[in-house]
Amino acid sequence: MTDTPPDPCTAALSHPDPMVREQAVRALRSRDAAGTDALPALPALLALFGDPEGRVACQARIVVEELGARAVPALQRIRRSGPGLLRSAALTALAEIGGEPLLSARDTAAVERLVRIKLTADRPQPLNACWLYWIAVAGGDQPGIMRILGLTEPRPVTFELGNAILDADVHGFGDDEPGSPLGRVFVTPELDGWTLVAGAWCDPCDAERGEELREQCIELSARYGRAQAYYFGAQNDGSAWLVAENGTVVRRYQEAGEPDDGLWTLGEPLEYERARRAGLGLPVPWDDTVREDLDAAEDEWRWEAFDLARGIAATLSIDPLAIGPHTAVRGTPMIALTPVGVAEGVPRGAYAI
């Protein structure tokens, strides 16, 4: 009886040429995707987490993450016992595979300790996401705002971490991925007199949540005087705004190229809208319910309105994309669970702190 010959791809993972190692990792990934298990190569792949060539280490981690639950025991052993050179990458892989539930209490405490350390030098950063949804509330009563919105389990984060989670969530996940991208929001500290709550859950014109959010903005404005909700698509994907003052919605409007945009309209145009229409030589007010057979001038307004959310926010509250070190800050940024997050969980992932 002869010994089984070594697998050539696995053997190539220790080749002195980094290009050969990288190609071997890629071959194992293709093999696993085709249904041929790469698990026997796991020890050699884990060793590459410390490879001096960054591309090799990154590719190896991707293959291990795609092994999913099959790789978890080995990754957890590295977190407990080393080698130390591999521990950081093992933590990232565990977070990508299953999120916080796969982390030990010791690892969770270490992450929370790192956040606390980073917060001592944290500074406001613009809220960057391709599709940005946010609520702006006058003042800095984080606990009261979160209570009215039904947010729970707030945890301190840095602006960088909050932004990383925000951007990952709005990009969405596959249908087979656990958790919901509506499951959590980034709650800023008080910034120039306003508190922002950002995340896809804050869409003012969402078919399922829009009316609930309108009621919440009414309640927030009744308590704090002013509350607004916005959507801004950074790739010319449209804008929406909802403005409530002293318990009344004074305006809601959406221009996102959707057939039912006009159905969301409430109230009279804001001064900012009037000024922008006047600049185009268009009448104010106008019949927003007629959106078919637009003449060229009104079509120009539609394109203008696609980018108005930031300008309206800057005029009425604060532009979240203009936040920076110059912004006056009071308090600590938080990530909090929405009711959707409590019911369905949140997406897994590893994020920069």
What does the pLDDT look like over 249-285, one tens digit per residue?
999 999 998 888 888 999 999 999 999 988 888 888 7
The reported pLDDT for the residue numbered 295 is 63
- Look over the chain and give the mean of its residue pLDDT values, rounded to a whole number: 89
pTM summary value: 0.87
Residues in contact with 30: Cβ distance below 8 Å, sequence separation at least 6, in sequence order: none
Task: Look up residue 320 and give its DSSP letter.
Answer: G
The reported pLDDT for the residue numbered 75 is 93
**What phi and psi values does residue 274 have, to the nearest 5 degrees?**
-60, -45
The reported pLDDT for the residue numbered 79 is 92
Strand stretches in the chain, DSSP E = 131-138, 152-156, 184-187, 190-191, 194-198, 226-233, 238-245, 248-255, 266-267, 329-330, 334-337
The reported pLDDT for the residue numbered 290 is 55
Residues in contact with 284: Cβ distance below 8 Å, sequence separation at least 6, in sequence order: 269, 273, 274, 277, 278
Peptide bond into 83 cis (omega under 30): yes
DSSP string, 64-77: HHHHGGGGHHHHHH
Q: Does residue 1 carry a pLDDT above 50? A: no
Strand stretches in 21-114, DSSP E = none
**pLDDT digits over 203-245, tens only?**
999 999 999 999 999 999 999 999 999 999 988 889 999 999 9
Comparison of pLDDT for 260 and 177, the residue scoring more = 260
Q: Does residue 162 carry a pLDDT above 80? A: yes
Q: Does residue 172 carry a pLDDT above 70? A: no
Give the mean model confidence (pLDDT) for residues 79-103: 90
Query: What span, in angstroms and rounded, lies between the C-alpha atoms of 270 and 252?
Result: 10
Burial of 319 (0-12, 13-18, 19+ CB in 10 A): buried
Residue keyed to tokens 């099959």: 70
Confidence of residue 174 (pLDDT cuts 50, 70, 90): low
Tokens for 210, please give them: 């829009």
The answer to whether the beta carbons of residues 159 and 335 sit under 8 Å apart is: no
Percent of the chain with pLDDT over 90: 61
Task: Look up residue 269 and give its DSSP letter.
Answer: P
Q: Does residue 34 carry a pLDDT above 80? A: no
Domains of the chain, earliest start first: 8-103 (1.25.10.10), 131-344 (no CATH)
The reported pLDDT for the residue numbered 2 is 47
